[in-house]
Structure 1
Amino acid sequence: MASVHGAAVKFGQGRSAVEVNIASATRLFQVIRDRFARKEGFALATLNLDHLTKLPVDQAFADAYRAHDLVVADGRPVVWLSRLARRPVALMPGSDLVIPLCNTAAEMDVPVALIGSTQDALEGAQAALQQSVPGLVVSYIHAPAFGFDPVSDAAGAICDALDASGARLCFIALGAPKQEIFAAFARGRCPQVGFASVGAGLDFLSGHQVRAPRIMRAVSLEWFWRALQSPRRMVPRYARCFAILPRLTVQALRQR
C-alpha cells in the first residue's frame, strides 16, 4: 500500500501495521474520479479502532489491508491519534461515503454493485440509492450464503458475475475482516472494479439497522448508541478498543 497523498499516518507495528494514506475527502474523490476515468480499479478500506484490535491477531486481515490502495479514517479516535502524530487526516466513515461515491459513479456513468448481508437489505439499499441518486445504475446485487469464505470458489464466482454485470464500483457490506479480505481477493480478479468496504452502510440505507442520531454522531457518541443497541456484541468490542488506546497514543507521539 503506497502513500497517495503526502505523509501517511501509521498505526500498529510490524506485519500488522497499516497507514491512512488519504487525508481528505477532496483528495479521495480526486483519486477515485481519476481511477474511474482510466478504468482502473481500487480497494478502499475505512480504518477504525475495531480493525486495529483485529489486525495484530489476524494475519489474513493484515495482509488484505496492505493490499488496499486507499485507506481513510473511520472513527474519531483514529482522527485524534493522527492529530497527535501531527499528520492530521479527516474523518470519513464508510457509511457516509456511500451516497457521495454513488453520486460520482452516476456522473461518470459507472454502474455499481452491492454485496451484503441479506437480499432484503440489498434490495432496500438499492431502492434508497436510486431514489437519492438520479441516474444511478445498480447492475448487480448479491447476498453470499451464511459462512461465506471470502477467498473461496464462491468468492471467485462473485468476481465472475461482477465482471459480467459491467459494474465498476462495488460496495461490500459484510463486516470486518470478511469484507476487506474479499476486497483484496477480488481486486486482483476484477482489475477495472473499485471495491469499497462500508460495514453497516447498506443496512443503514435499507433501514435494517438504525444509525445513531446526528447529534450523537456530532458529539462523538455514536459508539455509545451502538453499545446500547447491541450490548452483548458491542460492549466487549469497545472494551478491546479502549484497551489499545494507550499503546496507540505512544506510537502517535513517536511519529511527531
Structure 2
Amino acid sequence: MKFRAGDHEVSVTIDSWPALDRALRERFAAGEGFALATLNLDHLTKLREPGPFRAAYDAQDLVTADGNPIVWCSRLAGQPVDLLPGSDMILPICRIAAEMEVPLGLVGSTDDSLAGAAATLEELVPGLRVVSLIAPPMGFDPEGAAADEILKDLARAGVRLCFLALGAPKQEVLSARGRRIAPEIGFASIGAGLDFLSGQQTRAPEWVRRLALEWLWRLLGNPRRMAARYGAAFRDLPVHLWRSWRMR
C-alpha cells in the first residue's frame, strides 16, 4: 500500500503479522540485519518535507501500519493491511528472538526505564537475553559521532536485534545509519514501547484502543506536546482518505 507525503511516495511493505514473522525469521537465520519502521499519520506529515527523516524512511527494509487511519486508507484503496503498532510487536518479536537465540539490545529513554523494560521482557519471554542497554543523553544526534559509537557498542556486545525507543525522527534516522555501520543487527523503531513495559508511561486501556481512540488518550495525557502533532495529522487525513478511495 502506497501513500503520498508531499511529492514523495511511502509504502507499507508488511501487510500482516505472518508476513512480518516470516521476514524476521529469514533475516535472523541468514545473519542479516534490517530496519523496521511503523508508519503513522504523524510520520506522513513529517515526510512531506525533504530531509534526513525522508532519507531514513527510504532506507527502511520493513514498514508496517501503526495507526488506524493507515489501516482505513488501505481498506479504502482495496489493499488492506493489518494494524501492527510498535508497542504491540515487542513481545511477539522477542519470542522469535528467544526461540532463535538472538541477543537483544535496547536503546532510548532513560537508564531506569531500560532496566525496567529489560527485566519485564526477560520475565515474560523465557530464554530471551538482553545484552545491552543504552540511554543516549539529551540532545542526542542520531547522525553524529556519538551515534556511531552506540552502534559499534551494540555490535561489540553481540546484539542481533535492537529496539529503538527514541521517537521519530531520531529512531528511524539511527536505524538507517545502523544498516551501514552494524549491518548484522536488526533495528526496530518502537517509540514509547519500552516506557510502557517499564511502567514509566501508561498506555491506553485495551477498550480505548479497540475504539481507535488511543490518540485521544495520549492527547488528554499530554495536551501541550500532542495537540500540534495531532492537529497537523488530522488536517492531512481527509486528503489521504480521498487519495486512497481514488486508488480503489
Shorter-chain TM range is over 0.9
Structure 1 residue 14, shift from structure 2 partner: 6.2
* Aligned-partner Cα distance in 2 for 1:59–1:85: 28
Structure 1 residue 172, shift from structure 2 partner: 0.0
1:52-67 superposed matches below 5 A = 52-67=44-59
1:81-100 superposed matches below 5 A = 81-100=73-92
Structure 1 residue 49, shift from structure 2 partner: 0.6
**SS of 2:47 mapped into structure 1:** helix
Q: Is the 8 A contact 1:15 1:62 kept in 2?
A: no
* Aligned-partner Cα distance in 2 for 1:251–1:168: 39
Q: Is the 8 A contact 2:5 2:47 kept in 1?
A: no
Determine which of 204, 211, 215 is the counterpart of 2:203: 211
Q: Is the 8 A contact 1:16 1:59 kept in 2?
A: no
1:211-250 superposed matches below 5 A = 211-250=203-242
Match of 2:199, as an amino acid? G
* Aligned-partner Cα distance in 1 for 2:50–2:130: 33
Q: Which residue of 1 aligns with 2:17?
A: 25
Q: Which residue of 2 aligns with 1:157?
A: 149
* Aligned-partner Cα distance in 2 for 1:226–1:14: 26
Gaps of 5+ in 1: 1-8
* Aligned-partner Cα distance in 2 for 1:162–1:198: 17
Q: Which residue of 1 aligns with 2:29?
A: 37
**SS of 1:199 mapped into structure 2:** coil
Structure 1 residue 137, shift from structure 2 partner: 0.4
- Root-mean-square deviation (CA), in Å? 1.0
Structure 1 residue 151, shift from structure 2 partner: 1.0
Matched length: 248
Gaps of 5+ in 2: none
Residue 142 (structure 2) pairs with residue 136 (structure 1)? no
Match of 1:152, as an amino acid? G
* Aligned-partner Cα distance in 2 for 1:58–1:120: 35
Residue 139 (structure 2) pairs with residue 147 (structure 1)? yes
Structure 1 residue 253, shift from structure 2 partner: 2.1
Provide TM-score, normalisation by structure 1. 0.95
Residue 54 (structure 2) pairs with residue 46 (structure 1)? no
- Share of identical aligned residues, percent? 55
Q: Which residue of 2 aligns with 1:179?
A: 171
Q: Which residue of 1 aligns with 2:187?
A: 195
Q: Is the 8 A contact 2:6 2:49 kept in 1?
A: no
Decide whether aligned partners of structure 1 residues 221 and 13 sit closer, same or farther in structure 2, where only a CA change above 3 A counts: closer
Residue 109 (structure 2) pairs with residue 117 (structure 1)? yes
Determine which of 95, 101, 104 is the counterpart of 1:103: 95
* Aligned-partner Cα distance in 1 for 2:178–2:236: 31
* Aligned-partner Cα distance in 2 for 1:62–1:84: 25
Match of 2:188, as an amino acid? A
**SS of 2:194 mapped into structure 1:** helix
* Aligned-partner Cα distance in 2 for 1:121–1:15: 38
